[in-house]
Structure 1
């Protein structure tokens, strides 16, 4: 299974929704909190080209945020990317 990394914030409803989808699929992921860490948020923004959370990577591919993750699921492509 591909490595999944999600930059998130504890109070972000989109982060919670994205993690719930991954959890429902039994996907292990590395969660990197940006709460109170402007340097970590800046690192994420530099890598993603966006400063909003969540920002999600599956393997080397930046898939974007919650909406993009759910769009991949609806299109039937998420499992393929995860290597499931």
Structure 2
């Protein structure tokens, strides 16, 4: 992961999904604070909506790569950010 900022654009669903997975794993390992994780996840998903969603729900590939636990974290972050 680059130190200065975050990469916002990914070329395909797989690359995007693994990046999101890595962010959430960093959080689980205690390497990133709640606010920083929320900001990263929201920005990356917003910039890659076309790849992340299919028919208004999370696409199959990201769901498979993220798994249930990470997906729950991600969905909670996205719901929280939409309410802000």
Instruction: Give the TM-score category using the shorter length.
Output: under 0.3
Structure with higher strand content: 1
TM-score, normalised via structure 1 length: 0.28
Structure with higher helix content: 2
TM-score, normalised via structure 2 length: 0.28
